[in-house]
Amino acid sequence: MATETSERGQSAREQFVGAFTSRASKLGITSGPALVWLFLLLLTPLTFMVAVSFTSVDTLTYEIIWEPTLGNYNQLFAGQGPFWQTAFFQSLALSYFIAAVTTVLCLVLAFPLAYLLARRGGTTFKVVIFLVLLPFFTMYLVRAYSWYLMFGPSGVLNSTLMRLGITNGPLGIFNYGVPAIIVGLTHAYFPYMLLSLYASLDGLDFSLTEAARDLGASRAATLKDVILPLVLPGIISGSLFVFVPALGAFITPRFLGQGKVLMIGQLIESRINSLYAIGYGSAASMFIVLSIVVAFALAFRYVSIEDLGGV
């Protein structure tokens, strides 16, 4: 552009290099594009979502009426009975319950496997990690669907049991419902927990556990007083990465609940897609956002954002 004014015949290449000479321009060029993108497609939409939750929407034109109101929040908790009987409160409480059980289940199941992976190298490690990563990289939707085939009154589990003569009729536990959802979510988010625990167990100096054992500590005491405190960051970050997505889950409860269980993600989706009730949806979303902020605030007392690396 500035060929006329620039001092004698600078080549395009030199100009390009020249643009990177000052520290400020380097910083601007590297940090700028992502900043613009995040501002336009993350910060602004989320900020407006918070704002929309405090406004009302014209039901005919879907235009937002920019007057502050608590109407959306009232609507969440308004019903025939007290607030704990509203659809919103019940699905929120149920979502918390399901997410918490899923997190605990993932932790209990993933710990032995992560320990094994951290202690054993070579072929065992490669094969196991491949077998774990493959379902992990397989589409989430496919995994939820595969459990949809397993559960249900005439699903694979029930029909196999009946065929083998173990039961006479379909078992309620293998029908669609809360247990099925918990199994599906545990299957979906198990790898997050495993990889977090593995990353932290892998950095653990196992001579410490040997020392504890030599000094007479029992296995249980070694686990409780040596291993657990050292892998706590892994446990916390793993739990975050299971709890947070499980709380906002949509597909799994949809397929494995079959209308009997309404988690908060589905509730919001149904209001938005059938009524375009963006005020209600935004206000309900605020409860998910707030839960996450609290969860992270608690977690950051023990871990830094760096520890949340990997996945």
Nearer to other proteins, 4 or 205 (CB): 205
- Contact between 71 and other proteins by CB under 8 A: the answer reads no
- Binding window for other proteins (CB under 8 A); candidates: 1-9, 85-93, 112-120, 171-179: 112-120
- Contact between 100 and other proteins by CB under 8 A: the answer reads no
- Contact between 25 and other proteins by CB under 8 A: the answer reads no
- Contact between 298 and other proteins by CB under 8 A: the answer reads no
Among the listed residues 104, 171, 251, 258, the single contact to other proteins using CB under 8 A: 251
User: Cβ 110 to other proteins, closest distance in Å?
Assistant: 8
DSSP state at residue 270: H
Residues 260-279 that bind other proteins (CB under 8 A): 265, 268-269, 272, 278
Nearer to other proteins, 48 or 83 (CB): 48
Percentages (nearest 5) of helix, strand, coil residues in the chain:
75, 0, 25
User: How far are the Cα atoms of 122, 131, 134 from residue 127, in angstroms, in the given order?
Assistant: 9, 6, 11
Nearer to other proteins, 9 or 16 (CB): 16
For residues 98 and 89, the answer to whether their CB atoms sit within 8 Å is no
Locus of tokens 């269980």? 261
User: How far are the Cα atoms of 205, 214, 225 from residue 221, in angstroms, in the given order?
Assistant: 17, 12, 6
Locus of tokens 């495993």? 194
Locus of tokens 């993933």? 110
- Contact between 86 and other proteins by CB under 8 A: the answer reads no
- Contact between 73 and other proteins by CB under 8 A: the answer reads no
